[in-house]
Amino acid sequence: MELGLLFLGTSAAVPTPARGLPGLAVIHRGRAILLDAGEGTQAALTRYGLSPLRVEALLVTHLHGDHLFGVPGLLQSMAMAGRRGLLVAAGPPGLRRFLEEAAIATRWLPPYPVEVHELVPGEVLVLPSGWRVEAYPACHTVPGLVYRLVEPPRKPRVDLEAARRLGVSGPLLGRLQRGEPVVTADGRLVRPEEVVRPRPRAVIVYTGDTAPCGSVVEAARGATVLIHDATFTSDMEEEAHEQGHSTAADAARAAGEAGAGLLVLTHFSARYRDPGPLLREARRIFPRVVAAEDGLRVVVRL
């Protein structure tokens, strides 16, 4: 798929027989950005056929064990798979020390470069692939980040009708696409904006763990896909918010306020064997919603 999501783990706090701990891959043109890596992520990559060599970046939302404890093993499995290329690892402050201490305990360092970024809300990271990672604050019990991922700029589309009308064809079109003005055979100056049309860029927003929060809506503004904490149903609202989590209804309200294209619910408490109740309560508020499950692939189209 050109751009898609692969859910590696969709459980909260503890794994269940059906759901692993949090992990999500954003796959684009053969490369992947991993969002969180709970224990079991390296095994989930194998199970769902995503090579660890394809992971260009690993973004951790917050340093809770269920989102973090798969990271050291994932780094090792990347080495076992023969990785030599750069890995970008980002997360809240404390990530670097956690990785260093795992290296000290095991006397093992990755045989490939790892670039660690400790991010605070408001910071932006541009990955080697051109994906833009924007960090927003989550509302959780420890410092957490909501990630807004913006697709790299795409080659603009040529408006063939406009081109024909203006008498532009052949190599001139390529130069217009690259942003250069051209002069046609009959001496007319044509500017790029007369012929080429920018393509919209996909925006993927992943909340990690969060209670309902203005900054989540801000992060999710106009998102193509919003993947949101939906740990509980609304009858558990008080408990959810106390623990820094959202209900499915909270997630749906955030998607509605942000004008998201699609909402994916995830991070389900082990009390829900069937995500039906979560999905139904969200759908009453925001109709374009699906419930994640381990191994689910979502093709993203604008």
Q: Which residues bind its own copies (CB under 8 A)?
A: 13-17, 20-21, 39-40, 42-43, 46-47, 63-66, 68-70, 72-73, 76-77, 80, 94-95, 97-98, 101-102, 104-108, 142
CB of residue 5 vs its own copies: minimum separation in angstroms? 22
CB of residue 235 vs its own copies: minimum separation in angstroms? 21
Residue the block writes with tokens 């701990």:
21
Q: Which is nearer to its own copies, 65 or 130 (CB)?
A: 65
The dihedrals phi and psi of 264, each to the nearest 5 degrees, come to -115, 120
Q: Which is nearer to its own copies, 76 or 215 (CB)?
A: 76
CB of residue 98 vs its own copies: minimum separation in angstroms? 4
CB of residue 162 vs its own copies: minimum separation in angstroms? 53
CB of residue 64 vs its own copies: minimum separation in angstroms? 6
Spatial CA neighbour of 231 closest among 218, 249, 206, 255: 249
| Token representation of residue 289 | 């919603």
Q: Which is nearer to its own copies, 69 or 177 (CB)?
A: 69
Reported as half-sphere exposure (CB side, CA atoms, 13 A), residue 142 has a value of: 12
Q: Does residue 166 sit in helix, strand or coil?
A: helix
Give the burial string for 188-212 (b: 16+ CB within 10 Å, else e): eebebeebbeeeeebbbbbbbbbbb
Q: 66, 229, 250, 294: which is the annotated catalytic residue? A: 66
Spatial CA neighbour of 245 closest among 265, 233, 230, 256: 230
66 is catalytic: yes
Q: Which is nearer to its own copies, 74 or 249 (CB)?
A: 74
Find all residues with CB under 8 Å of 249, minimum gap 6, and list them. 233, 234, 237, 281, 282, 284, 285
Question: What is the rounded CA–CA span in Å between residue 276 and residue 299?
Answer: 22
Q: Which is nearer to its own copies, 64 or 148 (CB)?
A: 64
Q: Does residue 140 sit in helix, strand or coil?
A: coil
Q: Which residues are catalytic?
A: 66
